[in-house]
Amino acid sequence: MQVPPSPARRARKLLIVHLDGVPKGLLDEALVAGRMPFLSRLIRSGQFHLDEAFWGAPTSTPYFQAGLLYGMRHSNLPAYSWFDRELGRKVRMNTPTDALTIDQRLRGAGRTSLLDGGGHGYFSLFRAGAENALSMSTLASFEQMSRAFSYEMMGLLSARTRSVWDYLRSLGMDTWAAAREVIHWARGLHDWRHEPAFLFSHVFLQRLGWSFAFTKALVDMARGVPVVYLVYGNYDEVAHRRGPRSQLAQAELHRVDTYLAELYAVAGAAEQPYDVVILSDHGHVDCLPWEQRKGQSLTQWLLAPHGDGPLHDDLVQGLCEGRPRPAPDSTPRAPFTPVAIECGNFAHVYLSGEPRPLDARALLARHPEILARVTRSPDIGIVALRRGNGAVALVRDGVYTVDTLDRAPLSSEFSKRAVADFLRVLPTMSTAGDLVLFGEAVQRGGTVGFAWEFGSHGGLTRTEANSLVCWPAKAPVDLSNLSHCAQLHERLAATYLDSTPRLRLVP
């Protein structure tokens, strides 16, 4: 391949393949069922270790990538979308300008990124110091993208594995099949809202975009780029719209297995071989949309008069921690319309335009009717909020802290480890809502979802917290027993970012 070598040099090279949204349990099933034969051979032969991993809560991609790339435990990223109190507006991570703003915040913390010093990233939300410009945050700048065009095209044609005609024919057939599936699904559901965007994503991101990123990763390894971070988001996209166990989602696992085989072959054939690490950031659960169940959005339901009655006395006592209940607070304030950000099977509710979140006593004084409404709903399994310097979970008229969660009457679908982790991190997340609602587990492997989607993540179920990490047995790094994504960063950084020559014993 006639491409110039990368000027960056490190003792060991690393390729990270991020399988967005794939829980370990589902991957295990795919391995046993023969849907991922290549990866199955690697693991069964003992060449690779496969381990379950817990990255912390929320179980969402922004939180995970801040931990993986920057090593941040407290990144202040509560979801894929939220109402940012500092900016005074809603933020979405699939909006390039928003992704750039958050990337600059993370970068401004002064932490070293795994991609510093010549690394490349593909389909990441954050550029995180990468030398190339193919992340969501870099799409915000046309000037930056145009300057990077010639660099991104370097070696692309020489790395292709089939003719342009064959590729276009395959793309056309795939697009036609996808269009027919979209029409069939939307007619059956009587809802077209997300289908045009899903078809666009399928053609331009899942097929064209991924083919480009995959080929560029092959070129990068031929050039000797020190770290390559490649995000495979196709499964996640399909799981949101069709469900995590749908036929389309399962097909994406088989599809990525063929790509893994080629990536692995090139990684081993490179002049300086690459260690290949395969991981996921979270799992997906089936989702039963709130709007489908209630006939109205969460925001409409929250603000409509219901006559819910007073809060349960046990809740009031638990939120007050033995102190008297605060008097009603009707102090005049700047007008603010409550905002409910439907993030999947959890939602952030903002009841104040003030720069700091409201805690339990302020909510009791100013919004007792909202508290009564969310705690009485059978479709809401957990309500999390701040209390003093900590946070508590409201479950069926009970108030539970990290230390008392074992007594909480939670559905077995929820992970008490994930709930505890979220309660620990909530006081550090000024961006999170005054209330954080989690949909009830109403069926095995499924919860109520506040967004209009059929596969969700970001919540606190066992499946969503069931991530995976897979690494070479001969690599000089141990990625077992990880309990936070920041630990993953620390172990990878110690092996692949340390440029200090190691001392060796001379016999």
CATH code for the domain of 491: 3.40.720.10
**Does residue 507 lie in a domain region?**
no
**Does residue 505 lie in a domain region?**
no
CA atoms within 13 A on the CB side of 309: 5
Instruction: Domain count for the chain, please give it.
Output: 2
User: In which band, very low, low, confident or very high, does the pLDDT at 303 lie, cut at 50, 70 and 90?
Assistant: confident
User: In which band, very low, low, confident or very high, does the pLDDT at 3 lie, cut at 50, 70 and 90?
Assistant: confident
* pLDDT tens digits for range 50-104: 999 999 999 999 999 999 999 999 999 999 999 999 999 999 999 999 999 999 9
- 297 and 276 in a common domain: no
- How many Å apart are CA 122 and CA 223, to the nearest integer? 16
**Does residue 301 lie in a domain region?**
yes
Instruction: Compute how many other C-beta atoms are within 10 angstroms of the C-beta atom of residue 55.
Output: 27
- 196 and 74 in a common domain: yes
Quick one: pLDDT at residue 505? 40
Quick one: pLDDT at residue 468? 98
Report in angstroms the alpha-carbon separations of 182 from 246, 250, 461: 14, 17, 29
**Does residue 504 lie in a domain region?**
no
Instruction: Compute how many other C-beta atoms are within 10 angstroms of the C-beta atom of residue 443.
Output: 12
- 438 and 332 in a common domain: yes
pTM, full prediction: 0.93
Q: Using the 8-state DSSP alphabet, how is residue 85 labeled?
A: T
Quick one: pLDDT at residue 229? 98
- 469 and 369 in a common domain: no
- How many Å apart are CA 139 and CA 450, to the nearest integer? 29
- 490 and 385 in a common domain: no
**Does residue 267 lie in a domain region?**
yes
Quick one: pLDDT at residue 201? 77
- pLDDT of 506 above 60: no
- 219 and 335 in a common domain: no
- 116 and 88 in a common domain: yes
In this structure, are residues 302 and 41 in contact, taking their beta carbons and an 8 Å threshold? no
What the block records as the tokens of 457 is 């993540």
* pLDDT tens digits for range 54-69: 999 999 999 999 999 9
- pLDDT of 501 above 50: no
- 247 and 272 in a common domain: yes
User: In which band, very low, low, confident or very high, does the pLDDT at 503 lie, cut at 50, 70 and 90?
Assistant: very low
Per-position DSSP letters for 11-72, written without gaps between them: SSEEEEEEETT--HHHHHHHHHHTSSHHHHHHHHTTSEEEEEE---SSBSHHHHHHHHHH--
**Does residue 426 lie in a domain region?**
yes
- How many Å apart are CA 178 and CA 234, to the nearest integer? 13
- 238 and 383 in a common domain: no
Cross-strand partners of 470: 50, 278
Cross-strand partners of 448: 288
- pLDDT of 140 above 80: no
In this structure, are residues 353 and 360 in contact, taking their beta carbons and an 8 Å threshold? no
Quick one: pLDDT at residue 507? 36
* pLDDT tens digits for range 418-438: 999 999 999 999 999 999 999
SS3 343: coil
Q: For residues 321-345, give the mean pLDDT.
A: 92
Label residue 289 exposed, middle or buried (CB < 10 Å: 0-12, 13-18, 19+). buried
Q: Using the 8-state DSSP alphabet, how is residue 505 labeled?
A: -
Determine the Cα angle at 432 with ends 428 and 433, to 5°.
Answer: 135
Determine the Cα angle at 315 with ends 311 and 316, to 5°.
Answer: 75
- 167 and 117 in a common domain: yes
Considering only CA atoms, which of 222, 291, 339, 298 is closest in space to residue 453? 291
- 446 and 481 in a common domain: no
**Does residue 101 lie in a domain region?**
yes
Residues of the domain holding 469: 13-284+463-496
User: In which band, very low, low, confident or very high, does the pLDDT at 274 lie, cut at 50, 70 and 90?
Assistant: very high
Contacts 24+ apart (CB under 8 A), 111-116: 111/70, 111/71, 111/72, 112/70, 112/71, 112/493, 112/497, 113/69, 113/70, 114/16, 114/68, 114/69, 114/227, 114/229, 114/489, 114/492, 114/493, 114/496, 114/497, 115/69, 115/227, 115/229, 116/497
**Does residue 85 lie in a domain region?**
yes
- 370 and 257 in a common domain: no
What the block records as the tokens of 414 is 């929820």
Q: For residues 478-502, give the mean pLDDT.
A: 87
